[in-house]
Amino acid sequence: MKIAITRLPEKAGSDQSLCREFGHECLIVSPMQARVYDDAVQAFIAAANEDTYDCIFFTSALPARLIGPHLETAARIIAIGPQTAEYLEMAGVAPETLPSHYSRDFVPFLGDWIEGKKIGIPRADVPNPILMNAIAAAGADGYEVPVYALEPTNVPLDTDDAEAILFTSANSYTYASYQKEGLLPIAIGEITADRMRGDGTVPVAVGDGTLMGTLAALNHYLEENGDSAPGLDIDLPRGGIIAVDKPRGPSSHEVAAWVRDMLGMPCGHGGTLDPDVSGVLLVMVGRAARLAPVILSHEKEYIALMRLHGDATEEQIRETVREFVGKNYQRPPRRSAVARALRIRTMYEIEVLDIDGRDVLLRVRCEAGTYIRSLCRHIGFAVGTGGQMVELRRSRSGGYDESMCCTLHALRDSVEQAKEGDTEELRSYIRPPESVLEGIPTVTIRDTAVDALCHGASLAGVGITATDTFKKDADVAVMTAQGELVGIGRALVPSDEIVPGTTGIMVRPKMIIMQPGTYEKGWITKPPAVRPAKPPAPTPTPSYQDGVIAESRDTTPDKRKSLHPGPKRRPADSKKYLSTSKNGKRRGAGEKPSKGKGAGAKSAQKGRKDEKNQGSKGSKGTYNKKKSIQRKKGSR
């Protein structure tokens, strides 16, 4: 599916490659344009490097690109989401990322640490009063610094070739002018979805604030509402993984699209291979497409043919190659589909298989996201002759190697057999989702807890039977007793604190793979409690005096007074006793009256009686002064 994404061109980043991982193509359309305030950017950088702020909160990717490379501060850096964090990491800044990707969770994320701190927020010239009020309520000082302006382009979006449109913010929806007919509307998060619903546009899929989560939600929608291939009768409640031996020529996206058309199910691929690269390509079918983040993190192995531009000895080549084992700086080549930003990738093993003149055959085991083309070029520079990659084949992806792959022709033949009723060969190609859980610790649960998790419930200790070893906040695979993957969750406590059978939430689900209803329901929904109706208030009985109903006060309690108690009212006759203070000046409404003078009707009568009894002993002021002196002596 081709998706139009409303994003600034400066913030598009790796949108295209990410969409391809989920089996889609993206088209960047911009209902707004950014006008950068250069002076404001420089002023913020200067203030940050002078440690004006204790914390800097980047709420979008553009300020991260503008400011990140120039930061030299000890302040705490927070990124709102993974794309913003990626730009900061490219600039050499190590940020923390909000787990929910919403600015409303910024203050809860910092907790008590935020009190008394100064928070700098470089952002667009659109204020966020909810965020600022939350920062102030937490006892901190927030400083919103507009470093760029968002201005509508007032140009209709070119969505003729698109099948869906994904809005990345509420404002991008507001300013977008496009032909709505025939386009599936998608929202990146709940705030954008609320704006769309308020305008009468109901999104078919709502993400978690990230593009990856939104694409996963879209694939789930397509899976639930798509039609299966005609005549293909195969039940995949959790989807599956097909290892395809990709030939040279088609792109990874085209291969995934062909598999989708064969099976009639949404498909994505794990790890892009260029059209001229062959080898292991994992295609995720159905609900297993949600495992894209897991598969993309797998280490890879390649067989590469490198050609040097000059002559070099075998010893020189082998010695130079050994120097590249470990961490390497890389910049993606120009023909790649991602941003050409500097990154670090680890080479776990590089073996020289053969040397024939200037041709060198290499086997490279490396971290995900490594560009072998860049590696060959760097090795050529280090040898001193220059060099380039001539041919490349991926021999392994995670736990899948070449021996586990099928060709597109073999897959097509198995689909035709399945239409005739023989699904055995097709099922042999579709492996279960748990086959890609390389290096992820597991949590085994009871059968009675499975369906509750499939409906979004968190996992408590009473549903756990066994665990592997893991730390708090680690990703864990939630498995049934039969070894089937239910989903991926985040551990709220370390494994050594989990006691099977105890109460308390232990794992929070991140993605659910198993379809609800696969296991029988083992949880009970309690009916809502029915409160008994309150009896009507008794009607006050009137009293009669000489045949006339006497006026009586309403004794029915006033709920508003009990819920919102106000200040106590003074007696009507207390004004003349409380209006002045000792020195004769008028006292405020909240000032406490002085002792011995006008504290109420009773004390006033006592004061008048004492004054009368003293007679010629002196004035009222003299008497009060003497009495005060006697009281002080008595207290001693």
Question: How confident is the model over 72-116, as pLDDT tens digits?
Answer: 988 999 998 877 888 888 888 889 988 777 788 899 989 999 999
Residue 553 or residue 336, greater confidence: 336
* Beta-carbon contacts of residue 421 (< 8 Å; ≥ 6 apart): 233
Helix (H, G, I), strand (E, B) or coil at 26: strand
- pLDDT-based confidence at 278, cuts 50/70/90? very high
Q: Which is catalytic among the residues 274, 413, 447, 468? A: 274
* Domain 439-512, CATH among 2.60.40.3120, 2.30.130.10, 2.40.40.20, 3.90.1150.10: 2.30.130.10
Sheet bearing 464-467, strands edge to edge = 459-460, 505-512, 485-491, 475-479, 442-445, 464-467
Residue 406 or residue 182, greater confidence: 406
> Which residues make beta-bridge pairs with 253?
none
Let me know how many helices (H) and strands (E) the chain has, helices first. 20, 29
What number is the average pLDDT over the span 17-32? 79
Q: For residues 274 and 262, is the Cβ–Cβ distance under 8 A?
A: no
pLDDT reported for residue 289: 80
Number of neighbouring beta carbons within 10 Å of residue 492 = 16
Torsion from C-alpha of 180, 181, 182, 188, nearest 10 degrees = 20
Q: From residue 64, how far is each of 19, 248, 295, 376 by CA, in Å?
A: 22, 38, 28, 31
Residue 596 or residue 195, greater confidence: 195
Q: Return the minimum-mean-pLDDT range out of 3-17, 54-68, 172-186, 330-344.
A: 330-344
| 274 is annotated as an active-site residue | yes
pLDDT reported for residue 155: 87
Architecture of domain 2-31+153-225: 3-Layer(aba) Sandwich (3.40)
pLDDT reported for residue 242: 94
- 241-404: what fold? Pseudouridine synthase (3.30.2350)
| Cα 603 to the center of its chain, rounded Å | 66
pTM: 0.58
- 33-152: what fold? Rossmann fold (3.40.50)
Residues for the chain: how many in total?
636
Same CATH topology for 2-31+153-225 and 33-152: the answer is: yes
Token look-up 């497409």 returns 289
Angle at 390 between CA 389 and CA 392, to 5 degrees: 80
Domain ranges, ordered by start, for the chain: 2-31+153-225, 33-152, 241-404, 439-512
- pLDDT-based confidence at 189, cuts 50/70/90? confident
Residue 558 or residue 261, greater confidence: 261
Residue type, 224: E
Q: Return the minimum-mean-pLDDT range out of 80-94, 297-311, 351-365, 441-455.
A: 80-94
Q: How far, in Å, CA of 106 to CA of 403, rounded? A: 48
